[in-house]
């Protein structure tokens, strides 16, 4: 979660969350990390597909087999997300077209694995907050999303799940489901904001440790 100065809001604009949040990439500047953590982070990020890779625009396929291999895949996703200092990761970001995501919105939470997620309901209330993305290094943009939702799916063993989420957790889930549909945060912002994001990404690519 990142504390950032919030912009003024007109009364007709959607609510902003109390703290702007950074989805996927935790708000740790690389220079603030110790050498071991930075090395793990860089190693994990090498597995994450970056902007321009066609798989990020592909729609993931429903999972039909819930076996040991799938559970190992979910475990690996959780480990890479943790090492990359992320709060969420979709299978497509690793080049796997499985409709599966993992997330851990807060440090004290357990890792959640969500397979074949379907949003059953989302609130009319909208919130605007800043999001980052492991696949878009250097990009931090304000995105409007539903403030709360109910999602149904299965865990890696095939057991049914129903999750009611709000705030950061709801935002992370929506962000990762977007990935499974081939949608990026760049698709949810204005053309001008997209130009700024592209400039930031080019700058980050010139700085090896930026994210």
Please name the residue that has the structure tokens 């997300």: 81
Encoded tokens for 54: 């066609």
- The number of angstroms, rounded, from the C-alpha of 103 to the middle of its chain's C-alpha atoms is 8
User: Can you tell me whether residue 146 is helix, strand or coil?
Assistant: strand
Q: Considering 11, 122, 176, 192, which one is annotated as catalytic?
A: 176
Residues 6+ apart with CB under 8 A from 159: none
Query: Is 122 among the residues known to form the active site?
Result: no
How far apart (Å, rounded) are the C-alpha atoms in residues 203 and 175?
A: 23
Query: What DSSP designation does 165 have?
Result: E
Indicate which residues carry an active-site annotation. Answer: 176
């Amino acid at each position: 979660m990142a504390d950032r100065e919030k912009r003024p809001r007109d009364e007709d604009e959607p609510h902003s969350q109390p703290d702007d949040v950074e989805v996927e990439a935790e708000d740790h500047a690389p220079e603030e990390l110790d050498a071991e953590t930075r090395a793990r982070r860089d190693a994990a990020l090498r597995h994450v597909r970056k902007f321009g890779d066609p798989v990020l625009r592909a729609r993931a396929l429903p999972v039909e087999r819930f076996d040991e291999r799938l559970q190992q895949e979910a475990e690996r996703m959780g480990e890479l997300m943790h090492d990359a200092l992320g709060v969420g990761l979709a299978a497509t970001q690793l080049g796997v077209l499985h409709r599966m995501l993992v997330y851990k919105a807060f440090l004290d939470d357990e890792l959640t694995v969500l397979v074949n997620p379907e949003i059953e309901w989302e609130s009319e209330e909208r919130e605007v907050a800043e999001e980052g993305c492991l696949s878009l290094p250097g990009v931090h943009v304000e995105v409007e999303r539903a403030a709360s939702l109910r999602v149904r799916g299965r865990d890696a063993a095939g057991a049914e799940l129903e999750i009611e989420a709000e705030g950061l957790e709801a935002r992370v889930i929506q962000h990762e489901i977007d990935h499974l549909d081939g949608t990026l945060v760049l698709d949810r912002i204005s053309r001008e904001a997209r130009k700024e994001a592209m400039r930031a990404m080019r700058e980050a690519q010139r700085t090896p440790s930026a994210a």
